[in-house]
Amino acid sequence: MRILLVYPVYPDTFWSFKHILPYLSRKAAFPPLGLLTIAALLPAQWEKRLADVNVAPLSDEDLAWADMVFISAMLVQEAGAKDIIARAKAMGKRIVAGGPAFTAQPERFPGVDHFVLNEAELTLPPFLEDLARGTPKPLYTTPDRPDIATTPIPLWELINFRDYVTMSVQYSRGCPFDCEFCDIVVLNGRRPRVKSTDQMLREMESLHEAGWRGPVFIVDDNFIGNIASVKQFLPRLIDWQARHGYPFKFMTEASINLARDGELVRLLSKANFHKVFIGIETPSTDSLKECGKKQNVAADFSQAVKTLHQNGLQVMGGFIVGFDSDTESIFEQQIRFIQKIGVVTAMVGILTAMPKTRLWQRLKAENRLLGDATGENTDASLNFIPTMSREVLIQGYKRLLSTLYAPNNYYDRINTFLRNYNPTARGKLVRGDFQAFLKSLWRIGILSRARLDYWKLIFKTALTKRKALPVAVELAILGRHFQLVAKRALLATDAWADAPVDNSSHTM
Ligand code: SF4
């Protein structure tokens, strides 16, 4: 049996990191970890190829080769997934689909022959058994959640490491919190399930033996969902990193309570974690209470972010506007708040009702749902009726985007960040880092309108905090990405031309 695993195109969003790729001479930010894991769950004797459309276009030759086409996608990849389904269908291929987009709303994807939904560790085996008997069904689903301690190591051999900026691994699934807008708890549940420490170290070893060195994203919903397990895992990871000469620099996602646990912060730092994404969401206590983000309600965000930065953990933040409790002042509050706490890579989105979330159910009951979510958090088309006037919300969001990613405000955040940042991550600079720096000299230092801010940053950091210079250069490059995504998002709302950069909120 010949299996073609296809990962659809990922649109130009904050998380695509598309605009940093030319600096790094890579083709995509992250590999399709789900498909690599599915490949490892398929019979070993089957032939497998992986086509990541973000790396190279899907060829007719690959499609013609396959007996079956497996597709995995998130909602934001819906258009790309539909395109692949249509092409595979036209060539008479049997199509198997799974992953978050298909699990959330399979009805959005006509043309799929077999939906293998929820978590594949439970639904793929019965599909394979039925297939062997010649009686595969159209739908495989389960309310149960697997023990991921038996999940196999991803089949790294199906990808070319040189195509990607970062490798991905997974330690846990699920999150103990229950934020109203979050689809993670719908997909993966509230009881965090973790891999064993030995299993994780085997995954590290497999990546290392396959030749990977550099950044590794632990793609958990909330890496510290089960703090006791994490505290058992990290000392062994620290030991593994030290024995191997710190080949990996980790980033992950965690909840804000991380900053209150000094022991955990120190363990992460010693294990060579250097970035953590945190859903900070909003400075409005009423909006935090409304969405059930109770772990954020009592948080001192300034102190939390400062603590993490002092321990070498750069905070990437998620922020949302559009809650029912938000008033018209929320946009100015968000700008001042984000500038003050110094979260440079601030991913600011507009509230979306993702399928089957508590928010989606509440809005449906209130007759306020307008349509399907696109899964793209800068999409201002709004799939629900907000309490604030729709026009005010969209105009305020546009102002947020154009202000936060304006070079002067962006570079002010870098300076705030660098004041507290203590670069602790180990790892050698490689040729690609120097090439990225040289490209930034030309593209940002000469060609972009951020050039003055760029040169000030480079000289100041070189003179006052030389160890942080690679991070400063990386943030400057990331700034281009954020500015271009924001510009695209503003164009999408027909606003870039008549929404001049607003410096009136320049707070630093
Ligand atoms: S903390 Fe994050 S992952 Fe957990 S429920 Fe809230 S938004 Fe979802």
What's residue 429's pLDDT?
A: 84
What's residue 499's pLDDT?
A: 39
Domain final residue pick, 386, 418, 450: 418
Looking at the domain assignment, is residue 145 inside a domain?
no
Ligand 1, CB cutoff 6 Å, lining residues: 175, 177-179, 182, 184-185, 221-222, 255, 279
Is the domain of 414 the same as that of 324? yes
Which residue of 179, 223, 294, 358 sits with most ligand 1 atoms within 8 Å of its CB, as the best mutation to test the pocket?
179
Residue 251 exposure: Cα atoms within 13 Å on the Cβ side: 16
Judged against a pLDDT cut of 60, whether residue 497 lies above it is answered with no
Judged against a pLDDT cut of 60, whether residue 296 lies above it is answered with yes
Is the domain of 359 the same as that of 465? no
Order of strands, sheet of 114-116, starting from the edge strand that comes earlier in the sequence = 47-52, 2-7, 68-72, 94-98, 114-116, 139-140
pLDDT (average), residues 61-80: 97
Is the domain of 413 the same as that of 455? no
What's residue 505's pLDDT?
A: 34
What's residue 380's pLDDT?
A: 81
CA of 293 to the centre of ligand 1 (A): 8
Q: pLDDT tens, 45-67? A: 999 999 999 999 999 999 999 99
Task: Encode burial over 289-326: b for 16+ CB neighbours within 10 A, e otherwise.
Answer: ebbbbebbeebebeebbbbbbebbbbbbbbbbbbbbbb
Q: pLDDT tens, 105-152? A: 999 999 999 999 999 999 999 999 999 999 999 999 999 999 999 999
Structure tokens at 449: 């309108």
Query: Distances from the Cα of 24 to the Cαs of 13, 27, 56, 232, in angstroms?
Result: 18, 9, 17, 35
Looking at the domain assignment, is residue 264 inside a domain?
yes
CA of 289 to the centre of ligand 1 (A): 14
Looking at the domain assignment, is residue 495 inside a domain?
no
CA of 175 to the centre of ligand 1 (A): 6
Inter-residue contact 415 to 457 (CB < 8 Å): yes
Distance CA 90, CA 438 (A): 46
pLDDT (average), residues 345-374: 95
Is the domain of 409 the same as that of 428? no
CA of 475 to the centre of ligand 1 (A): 26
Is the domain of 103 the same as that of 181? no
Is the domain of 247 the same as that of 341? yes
Q: pLDDT tens, 305-319? A: 999 999 999 999 999
Structure tokens at 111: 């043309």
What's residue 114's pLDDT?
A: 98
Task: Name the pTM for this structure.
Answer: 0.94
Domain final residue pick, 388, 418, 448: 418
Per-residue pLDDT band for 376 (boundaries 50, 70, 90) equals confident
Is the domain of 412 the same as that of 446? no
What's residue 431's pLDDT?
A: 85
CA of 246 to the centre of ligand 1 (A): 30
Is the domain of 123 the same as that of 238? no
Inter-residue contact 325 to 287 (CB < 8 Å): yes
What's residue 46's pLDDT?
A: 98
Looking at the domain assignment, is residue 153 inside a domain?
no
Higher pLDDT, 490 or 474: 474
Judged against a pLDDT cut of 60, whether residue 202 lies above it is answered with yes
Distance CA 198, CA 268 (A): 18
Order of strands, sheet of 346-350, starting from the edge strand that comes earlier in the sequence = 167-169, 214-218, 248-253, 273-281, 314-321, 346-350
Is the domain of 98 the same as that of 225? no
Is the domain of 317 the same as that of 249? yes
Q: pLDDT tens, 152-162? A: 999 999 999 99
In ligand 1, the atom with minimum distance to the C-alpha of 182 is 8
Judged against a pLDDT cut of 50, whether residue 508 lies above it is answered with no
Mean pLDDT of the chain: 94
Number of H helices, E strands in the chain: 20, 14
Least confident of 127-136, 144-153, 228-237, 482-491: 482-491
- What is the domain count for the chain? 3
What's residue 267's pLDDT?
A: 98
Structure tokens at 58: 């899907």
Per-residue pLDDT band for 381 (boundaries 50, 70, 90) equals confident
CATH number assigned to the domain comprising residue 330: 3.20.20.70
Place of tokens 């990331």: 478
Looking at the domain assignment, is residue 87 inside a domain?
yes
367: left (phi over 0), alpha (psi -120 to 50) or beta: left
pLDDT (average), residues 29-55: 98
Looking at the domain assignment, is residue 494 inside a domain?
no
Domain residues for 284? Answer: 166-418
Inter-residue contact 221 to 253 (CB < 8 Å): yes
Per-residue pLDDT band for 377 (boundaries 50, 70, 90) equals confident
Going through 245-313 in order, the beta strands assigned E by DSSP cover 248-253, 273-281
Per-residue pLDDT band for 503 (boundaries 50, 70, 90) equals very low
Judged against a pLDDT cut of 70, whether residue 502 lies above it is answered with no
pLDDT (average), residues 179-198: 95
What's residue 339's pLDDT?
A: 98
What's residue 494's pLDDT?
A: 60
Which residue of 172, 181, 184, 316 sits with most ligand 1 atoms within 8 Å of its CB, as the best mutation to test the pocket?
184
Which residue of 170, 172, 175 sits with most ligand 1 atoms within 8 Å of its CB, as the best mutation to test the pocket?
175
Distance CA 411, CA 203 (A): 37
CATH number assigned to the domain comprising residue 54: 3.40.50.280
**Backbone dihedral angles phi then psi of residue 283, each to the nearest 5 degrees:** -80, -5
Task: Encode burial over 84-100: b for 16+ CB neighbours within 10 A, e otherwise.
Answer: bbeebbeeebbbbbbbb
Is the domain of 133 the same as that of 280? no
Higher pLDDT, 496 or 13: 13
Q: pLDDT tens, 383-424? A: 999 999 999 999 999 999 999 999 999 999 999 999 999 999
Looking at the domain assignment, is residue 473 inside a domain?
yes
Looking at the domain assignment, is residue 504 inside a domain?
no
- Going by alpha carbons, the residue nearest to atom 3 of ligand 1 is 221
What dihedral do alpha carbons 59, 64, 70, 75 form, nearest 10°? 40
The closest of 295, 303, 307, 299 to 283, measured between CA atoms, is 299
Domain final residue pick, 362, 392, 418: 418
Return the percentage of the chain with pLDDT > 70, whole number.
97
Query: Distances from the Cα of 390 to the Cαs of 162, 322, 382, 484, 488, in angstroms?
Result: 45, 9, 8, 25, 20
Place of tokens 């697997």: 146
CA of 418 to the centre of ligand 1 (A): 28
Is the domain of 377 the same as that of 289? yes
